[in-house]
Amino acid sequence: MTPVPEPIGPVDATKVPRFAGPSTFARLPSIDAVHDFDVAVLGAPFDGGTSYRPGARFGPLAVRTASRHLRTAYHPELDVTPFQRVQVVDAGDVPVNPFVIEDAISQIEAHAGDLVRDSSRLVTVGGDHTVALPLLRAARRGHGPVALVHFDAHLDTWDTYFGASLTHGTVFRRAHEEGLLVADHSMHIGIRGPLYDRSDLIDDARFGFEVLRASDLDRLGSEEVSARIRARVGDCPVYLSVDIDVLDPAFAPGTGTPEMGGFTSRELLGLLRRLGGLPIVGSDVVEVSPSYDTSEITALAAATVVYDVISLMARELGT
Amino acid sequence: MTPVPEPIGPVDATKVPRFAGPSTFARLPSIDAVHDFDVAVLGAPFDGGTSYRPGARFGPLAVRTASRHLRTAYHPELDVTPFQRVQVVDAGDVPVNPFVIEDAISQIEAHAGDLVRDSSRLVTVGGDHTVALPLLRAARRGHGPVALVHFDAHLDTWDTYFGASLTHGTVFRRAHEEGLLVADHSMHIGIRGPLYDRSDLIDDARFGFEVLRASDLDRLGSEEVSARIRARVGDCPVYLSVDIDVLDPAFAPGTGTPEMGGFTSRELLGLLRRLGGLPIVGSDVVEVSPSYDTSEITALAAATVVYDVISLMARELGT
Amino acid sequence: MTPVPEPIGPVDATKVPRFAGPSTFARLPSIDAVHDFDVAVLGAPFDGGTSYRPGARFGPLAVRTASRHLRTAYHPELDVTPFQRVQVVDAGDVPVNPFVIEDAISQIEAHAGDLVRDSSRLVTVGGDHTVALPLLRAARRGHGPVALVHFDAHLDTWDTYFGASLTHGTVFRRAHEEGLLVADHSMHIGIRGPLYDRSDLIDDARFGFEVLRASDLDRLGSEEVSARIRARVGDCPVYLSVDIDVLDPAFAPGTGTPEMGGFTSRELLGLLRRLGGLPIVGSDVVEVSPSYDTSEITALAAATVVYDVISLMARELGT
Amino acid sequence: MTPVPEPIGPVDATKVPRFAGPSTFARLPSIDAVHDFDVAVLGAPFDGGTSYRPGARFGPLAVRTASRHLRTAYHPELDVTPFQRVQVVDAGDVPVNPFVIEDAISQIEAHAGDLVRDSSRLVTVGGDHTVALPLLRAARRGHGPVALVHFDAHLDTWDTYFGASLTHGTVFRRAHEEGLLVADHSMHIGIRGPLYDRSDLIDDARFGFEVLRASDLDRLGSEEVSARIRARVGDCPVYLSVDIDVLDPAFAPGTGTPEMGGFTSRELLGLLRRLGGLPIVGSDVVEVSPSYDTSEITALAAATVVYDVISLMARELGT
Amino acid sequence: MTPVPEPIGPVDATKVPRFAGPSTFARLPSIDAVHDFDVAVLGAPFDGGTSYRPGARFGPLAVRTASRHLRTAYHPELDVTPFQRVQVVDAGDVPVNPFVIEDAISQIEAHAGDLVRDSSRLVTVGGDHTVALPLLRAARRGHGPVALVHFDAHLDTWDTYFGASLTHGTVFRRAHEEGLLVADHSMHIGIRGPLYDRSDLIDDARFGFEVLRASDLDRLGSEEVSARIRARVGDCPVYLSVDIDVLDPAFAPGTGTPEMGGFTSRELLGLLRRLGGLPIVGSDVVEVSPSYDTSEITALAAATVVYDVISLMARELGT
Amino acid sequence: MTPVPEPIGPVDATKVPRFAGPSTFARLPSIDAVHDFDVAVLGAPFDGGTSYRPGARFGPLAVRTASRHLRTAYHPELDVTPFQRVQVVDAGDVPVNPFVIEDAISQIEAHAGDLVRDSSRLVTVGGDHTVALPLLRAARRGHGPVALVHFDAHLDTWDTYFGASLTHGTVFRRAHEEGLLVADHSMHIGIRGPLYDRSDLIDDARFGFEVLRASDLDRLGSEEVSARIRARVGDCPVYLSVDIDVLDPAFAPGTGTPEMGGFTSRELLGLLRRLGGLPIVGSDVVEVSPSYDTSEITALAAATVVYDVISLMARELGT
């Protein structure tokens, strides 16, 4: 694809201090301020699918605020100047119905579907993990079925809770059932903690997921884990879903279902940065619940992940 | 009515420190541990009807924990030893579906309906204010329509949000429509803050509510405000609903929709303690959202209100 | 003056939840989105003049975020629908140099001066109190010298700190020296706490200020205090400066120099709402330091004050 | 008495910023740095007598830190320049055994006894209220039995907890039994909340205490309450004991046994400042538990009370 | 041993949301609700032996609350369904005297002694580390002397503090002196930080402890460290004592004597999970001080450790 | 050099509990209390050079308070009893002008210059990183140009912000320009995160710095990284500057410009402890901003680093 000739970048931090100026992600232009875009950051402030601590509806707000921390011109590990290379915008928030899960899912699907086109990509900030389902539907519409690369403490392939089939713990079973995923090319990374039932893992495997547990990282190392991810997804278009609780609670206290024994932030970044070259067609970063956060560390981690995903996309998209 | 002879009271704080022992409200016996009861404290941990900051699902847990602060044998202002006078129990939590408002409302209505009988009263800890609707339905079933005495920063008589008719901001319009309230005997106390529309007040009056704004307390004083409440409810059975946000955010930061300019905690207690003699047949204390609380001050305020409501009921019920 | 026909108001909260949508004050239109405006909310994120706890540079961000709490259509105490009556906008932040006080003051003076015209008013969110000096300069340019109505725990008429003459504790002495204030028509309200020297009060009086201490409110009551304010300012154009530390630390912990014994939030609102009819030509709300705040209570108080000041202006401005 | 000529005052805040310099109370000289003193601030960092939330052992540290907030030269309400009028020092902390209550009490008694002489006064910062007993013993040694003016939410005249007779809830019964108090001249102010037993009040009266409940302040007003205190103590030497939980939890969250419905900080200061002229021979400010505090508001309140008590003493002591 | 047929497990999380229902550990049955048990979780809410930050008396309450986070049916790393395999119960709290260390120790020893029998095991939640002494006494009574596997930042083999011999820093010297430990089979893991004296290590070795410092984990790796633990304990019955401060303060801020440079939570779990097969006859998890915690991360870590220890026991106990 | 015969050490923690006693670093003697010293801990409470979150002016206060946690007699990893080996003192704070950067720098330079002599060393607690410039000037005066070993997330070699050349992000470019550093012997360790511009790294190299990124530690390991530091500095006198944000935000949330992906605290200590034998002639530990800290974990990390640096110095200095 051809990026627009001269992308409009963030507000210049040498002219407007980072604590001032617009509240868009990384102080990027709003979607209304540009003619076209390559990558859009979208907020999906919905948390009605949360089983324990709610509050992820404030995730987009918190992640945008924390993104003020970022210096953004040049990403040295990925050797890319993402906002010069492609046009990145903030697409605002999906106006969701906070009371009815089905409505919210439809709204996100419609809104994201309007933004996703062949040449554009979405990085969506949740919201709870429920939002991944409509985003995967929108991704399929734009790019066909995808290989899911899923960083999370939890499988999120349970069937129902209290009879509800659309919740933050059931989305990837639904995605599998709806044919949104390329069979046998998806993977969970960072899984840990006890399960509701021994059969959870059996079901999950049956749906075509491979599991790399958090403790596997100790055993295999970052190089090997990233190699396995690459091998798993093959040439499929990739949808990258990052539940911030893949980090240990020390690194991401601000989330709804924290789980002891997770990744350090350097480990997560080390894995993400080894995914260069994959055709990431869509992504979400979810489950930031700011009222449980501490001095923005969770939101800053999420904002950094968003920036890294944009940088990965920019390397592939830019010419 | 005849209270059970020799009520079982809380765990003795001179034998078991208040930071130890059972986690029931005020360390009272569980409902399973007694033959019969006069007053039951019930948890309704549902917050799916919240329009802004969620988290009131953790309200019952937080209020029970904060109730450990209470010395409880003798209430000097009301001159009653409530737990000696009547049998008070902790009835546990309604097991609610966190994902579907209609289901949760049905569950609360059924559960509360089983507990409310002619000779027993419920004091329910929310949860968001949505829980008041099924509780009023249960109250009507047990006691007929009621006069609502409603302490809150907000009217909660809006029509719908995003098309949803059952939310924490619409319950009392629904209660009016369903005939749960005695016409023209209900009252809001503590209302303040801007409104969605000038017509909000007109609608509210049309539904038969009288409004005493927070600033009216300055003008009228506690005696006159309580006199007006008494005059308003007349001889009707009273349902007392306390949204903790009737307190100023300094006194109750842990709530979902705080509003500047509210009551101090002494003002609220002063009003409640002047309601002695009213036939309070049911009550709720709602909207405690612990993740926004500070050193338990909101939860402690709510626990104290629960204790005071029990004490008011005990004075009327006991022989 | 003639307001623009059909003002553009905030985002509709029944269509976009308050936790979503733009991060302007009260989700009002940005200054770029309208042709003209009557009242502009401006951020002055500077805290280099702070003598104790810094952080007010994050005040505009926090107050805008907290303004999402506000329902805004109708102000019942002032009986006005401010955003229908006049065009209110968010004018963004002054891009200030955080390192050099003199530069920041010049930047604010220039930026505000461009916005203040005969028919328009500014409500500026600080920042520390240093920002009041350039704002008073801009006010004089637009409206001539003003009567200062100053809510604060502190006089802010000291001479210098460490040889620095432009700090948050010296601005009103400077304003007096520069002739920005109408002689003998200004007033401090809410003063309390010990002083650096007994002569502080003598100097202050010499500069033409009248002082109403916090404890005077107990003695005089709100009606009398507001009557004295009105008497003091007479017919002068009024500049209203609200240091959030006029509130007690319980109501405004998020500030740099808290002082025990301040106003409750209802007392402050009660005083402000009795100032209807005064020709308020400019205003600031300063010293919100979010890292010391608790669950947004300070920022919410400041946002409510901003909304009330806008409402006061709208009553006078609108036709 | 004759104060030492030319007292050494605090570090000059115009030369050393308040966030720098020594960590003594109000940056006053250490006791080792002066020849003699009139008033000493002493820390008693013991919390082994706490029945619920511990942590008051960090009270002296927190109150000294919060005292950096204070401008201190001139107290306008009391019209006194305390540190010019008398020599005030920081006497450091009593080195207490944190594990054995009896040992700690002996250590405090001995340490305080060495400091109290006819012409000197102690203002002690707790620690939990247990420390009042050895301080009253020391006071009697220096000044004879005293009239106790006791600001607190709780009576602290219980008999024993778990068989322990020396705890923060039993000290004033012990003081009565030991003859440390002048009979029938002592008073509790600010009492509220439920009691362990109806007989608590009867016992308390039998020990010669008068009780003014928190709600009495609404009824009587500050003038009348202070008049009753004065009438009660008559001409006796006064020991002033301030449990910070006399304040409402909104004003003093950082304490071990908070109780809803307390004084505002302005009410407490208003009462204290009406006690001018009483012969205060000793004082304590106790129960600040910093790990429950919020942005230092409790510690700042306590530091301000200490400053006010010093100012009251200075008015009487200075010539 | 023979577990009771068909153990009663936790409340079903698909029927009662995890934020509702009983406040027992993992919502397990109370000890009163079953005929017999294999493993009991006991609270020992005592913190009178704390040398620095107190508050561990609230540890059992906090750990039980945090245990609501746990999904619990199946432990994939240990491949066990603990609550199906053996009967686990919550045995409530020891009612301790908070004021007198010796009394509290006696109470814990008696209470635990009643629960420990040949076929049953205790996992005790502290409380400060003082509680380990009576628990070791009870363990010896049931199982004879034990090999201590002790995860901690500190040795806890000092002699006395301020003359007190029974504190949280001296318990294992006392245990050695009382013959509670098998000679030369005990080990400290995770030790770090400066010491009171060089001789501390010499004494410790003399008492028969081996030390693995936190930094040894970098050098040796988890496999080797766990091998050394196994070699050290040999065939002895094992008592596993986990002071939560073995974790770095980032992972466990909520503790009384944090020490920089500790284990990550994944490291600790990795070590524990390599101890499968050891005959763990008793265990404690101590020093959780909730008022210093952040969003429950410390309490959640402790709850997870408790769950893992139960799972280790269940593997050995179940048939 | 010859240390004074018998150094005066900290207050004895077996006689005065660590929560009591003086507030000097590690409760060491004040500089006024000894005749001479080898190492002085100095506070430089200045944060006027901060580009994002301010508050480091409270760093010295917080680090001294957190140093109460430290047991200090014997450092087992470095096998040294630092306070017995050399005389260490607390030199108090530089009284800085908080409003004017140039003044503050002059004050720090003068004050430090008076303390640094051939035989003495300073360990300075910031304050923001701006303070390193005057400290390097003082170091050159005492020891000649130095090799800088710089632990930080950021290079701090930018040119100007808003035209200001003296800020916390520009100090090491200034130090290079002023010839304070030995050419080509300095090194940054822990660098990470995006940059303002790709040229930042080129400039930095041109000034003679070598960069070891945070991710290099994964690749190289602690031994190799420390070997490279040693190789880089050669025989030069070393100035060790530790910006606490070299730690990951999980370990150091209390800082102004946190950056995801940093060192764990054990990694940092592991590197520092491998620097034994280097001639460290001066050091700073900066950018602790307490209002963003959590339960003192950042301040405790900084205090531990200060203690380790003192221990490194003591090994070299003592005889």
Q: In chain C, what residues touch B201 (CB-CB under 8 Å)?
A: 76
Q: In angstroms, how far is CA D6 from the centroid of its own chain?
A: 27
- At B133 the pLDDT is 98
What residues of chain D score a pLDDT lower than 70? 1-5, 118, 319
By the 8 A CB rule, do E102 and D99 touch? no
- Chain D neighbors (3+ CB pairs < 8 Å): B, C, E, F
Q: Residue F122 in 3-state DSSP? A: strand
Per-residue pLDDT of A108-127, as tens digits, reads 999 999 998 767 999 999 99
- At D43 the pLDDT is 98
| Contact between F93 and D21 using a beta-carbon 8 Å cutoff | yes
C16 CA: distance to closest CA in chain B (Å): 9
| Contact between A55 and B54 using a beta-carbon 8 Å cutoff | yes
Question: How far apart, in whole angstroms, are the C-alpha atoms of residue B122 and residue B139?
Answer: 9
Q: Cis (ω within 30 of 0) for the bond into D127? A: yes
Q: In chain C, what residues touch D76 (CB-CB under 8 Å)?
A: 194-195, 201, 213
F164 closest CB neighbour out of C57, C99, C161:
C99
Per-residue pLDDT of C106-118, as tens digits, reads 999 999 999 987 6
> How much of chain F exceeds pLDDT 70, in percent?
98
Per-residue pLDDT of A254-310, as tens digits, reads 999 999 999 999 999 999 999 999 999 999 999 999 999 999 999 999 999 999 999
Given its phi and psi angles, is residue A169 left (phi above 0), alpha (psi -120 to 50 degrees) or beta? alpha
Is B35 buried (19+), middle (13-18) or exposed (0-12) by CB count in 10 A?
exposed
Question: How far apart, in whole angstroms, are the C-alpha atoms of residue A195 and residue A192?
Answer: 9
DSSP annotation of F68 reads G
> How much of chain B exceeds pLDDT 70, in percent?
98
| Contact between F270 and E195 using a beta-carbon 8 Å cutoff | no
| Contact between E73 and A253 using a beta-carbon 8 Å cutoff | no
Question: How far apart, in whole angstroms, are the C-alpha atoms of residue E54 and residue D291?
Answer: 10
Which residue spans within chain D are E strands per DSSP? 39-44, 88-93, 121-126, 147-151, 186-191, 209-213, 238-243, 280-286
Q: How confident is the model at residue E118 (pLDDT cuts 50, 70, 90)?
A: low
Mean pLDDT in residue range B88-109: 97
By the 8 A CB rule, do D83 and D243 touch? no
Mutate to test the interface with A, among F162, F202, F260 (most CBs of A within 10 A): F260
Q: Cis (ω within 30 of 0) for the bond into D163? A: no
| Contact between A55 and B53 using a beta-carbon 8 Å cutoff | yes
A309 CA: distance to closest CA in chain E (Å): 26
What six digits make up the tokens of F235?
């025989």
Cα B194 to Cα B154, B202, C78, C307, F258: the distances in Å are: 9, 14, 10, 9, 38
- At D198 the pLDDT is 83
Chains F and B touch (3+ CB pairs under 8 A): no
Q: In chain F, what residues touch E250 (CB-CB under 8 Å)?
A: 248, 250-251, 264-265, 297
- At C1 the pLDDT is 44
A162 closest CB neighbour out of B47, B99, B162:
B99
Question: How far apart, in whole angstroms, are the C-alpha atoms of residue E254 and residue E292?
Answer: 4
C108 CA: distance to closest CA in chain F (Å): 15
Question: How far apart, in whole angstroms, are the C-alpha atoms of residue D308 and residue C261?
Answer: 12
- At F222 the pLDDT is 96
Question: How far apart, in whole angstroms, are the C-alpha atoms of residue F89 and residue F309?
Answer: 14
Question: How far apart, in whole angstroms, are the C-alpha atoms of residue E211 and residue E231?
Answer: 13
Strand-by-strand arrangement of the E88-93 sheet:
E88-93, E39-44, E121-126, E280-286, E238-243, E147-151, E186-191, E209-213
Mean pLDDT in residue range F213-242: 97
- At F5 the pLDDT is 66
User: In chain B, whose CA is at the least distance from the CA of C75?
Assistant: B194
Residue A227 has pLDDT above 90, yes or no: yes
| Contact between D98 and E47 using a beta-carbon 8 Å cutoff | no
Cα E67 to Cα A259, E98, E308, F286: the distances in Å are: 11, 25, 12, 38
Q: In chain C, what residues touch D73 (CB-CB under 8 Å)?
A: 194-198
Q: Please state whether the predicted TM-score (pTM) of the whole model is above 0.95.
A: yes
- At B99 the pLDDT is 97
| Contact between E48 and D99 using a beta-carbon 8 Å cutoff | yes
For residue D239, the number of C-alpha atoms closer than 13 Å in the C-beta half-sphere is 31
SS3 percent helix, strand, coil of chain E, rounded to 5, is 40, 20, 40
Instruction: Count Cβ–Cβ pairs < 8 Å, chain E vs chain F.
Output: 91
By the 8 A CB rule, do B49 and B166 touch? yes
Give bridge partners of residue B30 from the DSSP assignment. B90
Question: How far apart, in whole angstroms, are the C-alpha atoms of residue F226 and residue F272?
Answer: 8
- At C5 the pLDDT is 65
Q: Residue C144 in 3-state DSSP? A: coil
- At A1 the pLDDT is 44
The interface pTM score, or ipTM, of the predicted complex is 0.96
Q: How confident is the model at residue F271 (pLDDT cuts 50, 70, 90)?
A: very high
Per-residue pLDDT of B208-241, as tens digits, reads 999 999 999 999 999 999 999 999 999 999 999 9
**A25-317: in CATH 3.40.800.10:** yes
Q: How confident is the model at residue B5 (pLDDT cuts 50, 70, 90)?
A: low
- Chain E neighbors (3+ CB pairs < 8 Å): A, B, D, F
DSSP letters of chain A? ----SS---PPPTTTS-TTSS--SGGGPPBGGGSS--SEEEEEE---TT-SSS--GGGHHHHHHHHGGG---SBBTTTTB-HHHHS-EEEEEE----SS-HHHHHHHHHHHHHHH--TT-EEEEEESSGGGHHHHHHHHHHHH-SBEEEEE-SS------BTTBSSSTTTHHHHHHHTT-B-TT-EEEEEE-S-BS-THHHHHHHHTTEEEEEHHHHHHHHHHHHHHHHHHHHTTS-EEEEEEGGGB-TTT--SSSS--SS-B-HHHHHHHHGGGTT--EEEEEEE---GGG-STTHHHHHHHHHHHHHHHHHHHHH--
- At A131 the pLDDT is 98
Q: How confident is the model at residue C188 (pLDDT cuts 50, 70, 90)?
A: very high
E105 CA: distance to closest CA in chain A (Å): 31
Please give the backbone phi and psi of residue E8, each rounded to the nearest 5 degrees, phi first: -85, 125
Please give the backbone phi and psi of residue D198, each rounded to the nearest 5 degrees, phi first: -60, -30
| Contact between C162 and F49 using a beta-carbon 8 Å cutoff | no
Per-residue pLDDT of E226-259, as tens digits, reads 999 999 999 999 999 999 999 999 999 999 999 9
Please give the mean pLDDT across all residues of chain C. Answer: 95
Question: How far apart, in whole angstroms, are the C-alpha atoms of residue B50 and residue A50?
Answer: 13
| Contact between F103 and C50 using a beta-carbon 8 Å cutoff | no
Q: What angle do CA C188, C190, C191 make, to 5 degrees?
A: 75
> How much of chain C exceeds pLDDT 90, in percent?
89
- At E3 the pLDDT is 47
E99 closest CB neighbour out of D49, D55, D291:
D49
Tokens 């919410």: give the residue: C300
CA quadruple F159, F162, F166, F168: dihedral positive or negative?
Answer: negative
* Segment among B220-229, E91-100, F173-182, F193-202 with least mean pLDDT: F193-202
Mean pLDDT in residue range E199-226: 95
Angle, helices A297-317/A265-272, rounded to nearest 10 degrees? 10
What six digits make up the tokens of B49?
């009807």
| Contact between F69 and E51 using a beta-carbon 8 Å cutoff | no
Give bridge partners of residue C93 from the DSSP assignment. C43
- At C118 the pLDDT is 67
User: In chain E, whose CA is at the least distance from the CA of A257?
Assistant: E69
Q: What angle do CA F50, D294, E287 make, to 5 degrees?
A: 100
Q: In chain D, what residues touch F16 (CB-CB under 8 Å)?
A: 93, 95
| Contact between B95 and E22 using a beta-carbon 8 Å cutoff | no
Number of CB atoms found within 10 A of residue F10's CB:
24
Q: How confident is the model at residue F13 (pLDDT cuts 50, 70, 90)?
A: confident
Q: In chain F, what residues touch C292 (CB-CB under 8 Å)?
A: 291
CA quadruple D114, D118, D123, D128: dihedral positive or negative?
Answer: positive
B201 closest CB neighbour out of C18, C76, C264:
C76
